Structures are given as structure tokens and as C-alpha cells.
A and B are shown apart, each in its own frame.
Chain A
Amino acid sequence: MSDRALGTWDWRRIVGNMFPLLLVLSVLVLWAGITLSGARDLLEEYAILAVMVPTMVGTGGNLGAILSSRLSTRFHLGTISLDPRDPVLLANVSAILALAVSIFAALAVGAYLLGFVVGSDLTLAQLLTVSLVSGMAVALLAVAFAVATTYASYRLGVDPDDTTVPVVTNVVDVLGMVIFVAVAAVVV
């Protein structure tokens, strides 16, 4: 098979297209790392908060990605509009927020149970407060960000799977870390 026949499957082309974006995203997410590193004392005192970090950081991005990919399909099909009273838009956004409540409540319960393993003094009420307050703040930002960027990439004619989804995921990851550390510092 010649290079031409390989088309978009040629590894040099994939790397050439993707590496610059990976680089930009890495610099962006470095901010989350700096926030995490700055919160080291807090994490060492309350080890259970460290256990919550990967989920706190990942879930907002996952929710944003689900919403982005659903919205981009529907923008293309013309079955949805940006009108806040649009019933399909409202159904999708409410589903994402309901998922956020479920997952962040489950995260608090999971962390509470693991607290018996790693040794934690935090109450279930404290963990629920940290998880739900920071989780719902991140979920709202994820929704706003996913709707805005998906609509923008649809209007600009950019493929959302290649650009919007990774950008939404990574930006929301960073916001998740910053908000989680800020809320945890206030609550515990």
C-alpha cells in the first residue's frame, strides 16, 4: 500500500496533526498539576482527598465530552437550537446535571468507605459537601463550555471530535482541580 492510499492513516500525518494540540493541552493542564502540588499539605493531612482527585478531575471532562458529542450530532441534524427553551437542549443538559449529582454523590460514598482503609477523620457529610459543591460547580461549567464550544465549532465547520472534545475535556479537568482544592480547603 502506498503512502497516498493510506491517507489519514499514515502515522506521520496523524502525529503531525495531533502533537501540536497535545503540546498546547499539556501546558494548559500543567496548571492543574501546579494546583495539586500547591495543595500537598492539605492532601497529606487528609489522605482521602487525594483518593478523590482523579475522579474529581476526570468526571467533569467526561460529562462535557458526552454533551459535546451529543450536541454536535444534533446541530448537524438540525434537531436542536441554542434557544434556552429548546426542549431537546433542556433534556440533554438536565440529564448531564442529573448524572453529575449521581456520580459525585457516589464518589463521596465511595471515598467515605475507602476512608476506613486509608484512615480518614472526615465525616460522610463533609465528603458529600466537598464532592457535590465542587462537582456541581464543575458540571455547570462543563455544560456552559460544551454548549459554547460545540456551537462555535459547528458554525466554524471544524470537526468537533478532533478538536472540541479534547479541549472541553482538558479545560474542565483543570477547572475541576482548581475548584476541588478551593472547596476542600474551606470545608475540612
Chain B
Amino acid sequence: MDAWRDFWSVYRQALPVLLVALVGGLFSGLVLERLLGSVERFPGLLVMVPVFLATRGNVYGALGGRVASGLHQGLLEPRFRRDERLVNAVTASLVNGVGISVVIGVITWLALLALGWERAALLELVGIMFVAGVLTSVVMVVGLLAVLFAGFRRGLDPDNLAGPVVTTLGDIFGMVFLLLSVWLVGVLAP
């Protein structure tokens, strides 16, 4: 029966992808658990975590979708070179990714102020987001493009690769660099 076949094809295609995302999610959960120890030093840190992670998905999901379409349409070649379209797409995602990270620091601080909750200095929250945003962006761009290009050359559909790669890399590197950035700002801030 058609509907039954449809059911199995959705289930079989999506399950491996979701299981990979689950492994990435559990790893980033372990890092989040470590991060709880720093909340004392930077009150409000936890508020930023879901927003920061969601933003990685939004920005690099869009880059992945764009590059996948470009590869399909023959507008992009599957290799790292100074192609004007590729440079523009990457520039946009870096501006979006780092820009929105800084904004997250600001709106988190404002929300904490409005709620009357204990909060770290505005510059500390923004600094943490900026460093984590820059580091994550670089790794996401290089990692995402490398996987999409390699996959495309081997005949895999980049549309199917982009989503899970973004989710998994974003969860893992987003949290690791957030932890690193918290440590760095903790060392540098007086």
C-alpha cells in the first residue's frame, strides 16, 4: 500500500540523521553540564545558551540550503576557491552569525534587567557571545562546506546533508566554544 510505503520511507530516511543529531546533542549536553559551574561567575549565562544554539541552526542552515541549491544549479563548484558567489554567501553568514551573537548578549542583558534578575556586566555577556560567535562561525563555515563539497563530489544530495551537519556541528562546537569563551572572558575580565 502506498501510504505504508510512504511511512517507512520517511522513517528510514530520517532516523539515521536524527540519531547522529542525538549523539551530538548528548555531547553538547555534557558540555552544558560543565557550564553550570560558571553561572555563579556570569549570572545570566544560561539565558543565552538556547538562543545561541538556535541561532547557529538558523544562520548556517540558511548557508547550507543556499550552497546546496547553488551546487544543484551548477552555480557553484564543489571546491574551496575564490568564487564570487561563494565569497558573498560566506560573508553574509559570518556577518549574520557574529552580528546576531553580539545582539544576543545585549538582549539577554536587557531581559535580565527587565526581570530584575542578577546579571553579569553587559560587556562580559557581549564579549562571551562575540568570542563564541567568531570561533563557532569559522568552524561551521569550513566544516559545512567541506562536508557538502566532499558529499556532492561523491554523488550525495547536499540537501539531505546540510540539515544534520548543521545541527550536529552547531550543537557540539557551539557549546565547546561557549565554554572556552566563558573561560577566556573570565581570565581577561578584571
Contacts and interface: CB of A to CB of B under 8 A. Distances in A.
Interface in A70-97: 70, 87-88, 90-92, 94-96
A88 to B, nearest CB: 6
B62 A30 contact: no
Nearest to B61: A166
B89 interface: yes
B50 interface: yes
Interface in B67-90: 70, 75, 84-85, 88-89
Given A23-B100, A23-B103, A95-B7, A66 B14 contact: yes
A165 B61 CA distance: 10
B29 A9 contact: no
B46 interface: yes
Contacts, number: 207
A37 B44 contact: yes
Given A33-B48, A37-B47, A102 B15 contact: yes
B14 A9 contact: no
B7 A91 contact: yes
Interface in B84-127: 84-85, 88-89, 91-93, 95-96, 99-100, 103-104, 107-108, 111, 115, 117
Chain A interface mostly helix, strand, loop or mixed? helix
A26 B22 contact: no
Contacts of B84: 1, 6, 9
B10 interface: yes
Nearest to A12: B92
Given A19-B100, A106-B19, A30 B163 contact: no
Interface stretch (B32-40, B143-151, B180-188): B32-40
B4 A54 contact: no
B21 interface: yes
Given A57-B50, A169-B57, A98 B11 contact: yes
A185 interface: no
A27 interface: yes
Contacts of A33: 46-51, 108
Given A50-B29, A58-B57, A114-B26, 18 more contacts: A11-B89, A14-B96, A18-B96, A22-B96, A25-B54, A25-B55, A26-B54, A27-B107, A34-B47, A36-B46, A37-B46, A40-B46, A44-B36, A51-B26, A52-B29, A54-B28, A102-B18, A111-B26
Interface of A: 1, 6, 9-12, 14-15, 18-19, 21-23, 25-27, 29-30, 32-34, 36-37, 40, 43-44, 47, 50-55, 57-59, 61-63, 65-66, 70, 87-88, 90-92, 94-96, 98-99, 102-103, 106-107, 110-111, 114, 117-118, 161-162, 165-166, 169-170, 173-174, 177
15 contacts: A14-B88, A18-B96, A25-B55, A25-B58, A26-B104, A33-B47, A36-B50, A37-B46, A54-B32, A87-B3, A91-B6, A95-B8, A99-B11, A103-B19, A111-B26
Lowest 7 A-B CB distances belong to which pairs?
A55-B25, A51-B29, A14-B92, A33-B47, A95-B10, A87-B3, A11-B92
